[in-house]
Amino acid sequence: MKHTRLLLLIAILLFSQQTLNAQKDNVPIGARSTAMGGASVCLNDFWSLHNNQAGMAGYNQMAAGIYGENRFMMKELSQGAFGFVMPVKGAGVFGLNYNYFGYSLYRESKVGLAYAMAFGDKISGGIQLDYINTHIGEDYGNANIFTFELGLQAKLIKNLVLGVHVYNPVHVKVSKYGSDRVPVIFKGGLSYSFSDKAIVAIETEKDLNQKARFKAGVEYHVVKPVYLRVGISTNPFSNSFGVGLEFGNFKADISASRHQVLGFSPQISMVYSFKKRTS
């Protein structure tokens, strides 16, 4: 069994460049965006707290959420997250998030403190300070990194939104003893709302040291509580799908993505919004 696990981990290294450094590579969080191929930079929802902090600016409710993913159906590659968003009248929106990847012998975790503000009706900006910890078992120790990320969203015309996000623009080193650095990742995309029921989002992601990735997804609001979503992404190619349910202040999203070699990765996220902020 150990040899089978080892071979599978080697395959993951070969076929999925974004699997084993989940926090350093800033992968999308939230089953809504994962169902839409990972396109997230233009979305305005709770998990903008992680994906593009500018999207938090329009959030008018205090809310808390959790997220879980079983990558390729292996517990050693599990990922989880928790987040909290709090709008403050006249001062913007504040957020706190924590997410982790891995298991006892190899674990990455990230704590982020986020802030977003709207500048009029068309532009919003956000920034997040990050603390990343890497733990390797068997007495190999820990590495701690500080960095930041920032994002922007702009409504170009009615129903058309532009989103950009930069993660780790200062290109910090993983450790003072080596030359490895946390990647600099640029994301840019567009979303268009055809109506209150349908949204299309496209996005390009570029790691300075990797080929660009293309992501695209569609969300359709079938009936009041039900949303259906599909998406694709490249480098490596994967397809995804999911469903969302909304009942009052509670939202639940379920999704799954399929790597053409390594198989399925199921995801689930839940968000509870507290009483709306009074104006």
Residue 72 has a pLDDT of 83
5 φ, ψ (degrees, to nearest 5): -60, -45
Question: Residue 228 is part of a domain; what is its CATH number?
Answer: 2.40.160.40
For the chain, what is the domain count? 1
SS3 (DSSP) at 20: coil
In the chain, the amino acid numbered 12 is I
The 3-state secondary structure of 133-202, one letter per residue? EEEECCCCEEEEEEEEEEEEEEEEECCEEEEEEEECCCCCECCCCCCCECCCEEEEEEEEECCCCEEEEE
Residue 8 has a pLDDT of 52
What is the domain range of residue 212?
2-276
Burial class (CB in 10 A: 0-12, 13-18, 19+), 101: buried
- DSSP code string of 33-79: HHHTTT--TT--STTHHHH-GGGGGG--EEEEEEEEEEGGG-GGGEE
Residue 18 has a pLDDT of 47
Two tokens at 169? 């623009």
Contact 54, 116 (CB under 8 A): yes
Q: What is the pTM of this model?
A: 0.86
Distance CA 189, CA 212 (A): 13
Residue 75 has a pLDDT of 81
Residue 142 has a pLDDT of 77
SS3 (DSSP) at 8: helix
Pairing of strands 92-103, 78-88: antiparallel
Would you give the end-to-end CA distance of the chain in angstroms? 59
Distance CA 236, CA 227 (A): 26
Residue 2 has a pLDDT of 45
Distance CA 215, CA 38 (A): 6
Q: List the chain pLDDT tens, one digit each, 279 residues.
A: 444 554 454 455 444 444 444 556 688 899 999 999 999 999 999 999 999 999 999 888 899 999 999 988 788 888 999 999 999 988 899 999 999 888 777 788 899 999 999 998 899 999 999 999 887 776 667 778 899 999 999 999 989 999 999 999 998 877 666 667 888 999 999 999 998 889 999 999 999 888 899 999 999 999 989 999 999 999 889 999 999 999 989 999 999 999 888 888 999 999 999 975 443
- Residue 132 is given by DSSP the state E
Distance CA 20, CA 23 (A): 9
Which residues contact residue 176 at a Cβ distance below 8 angstroms, ignoring those fewer than 6 apart? none
Residue 10 has a pLDDT of 45
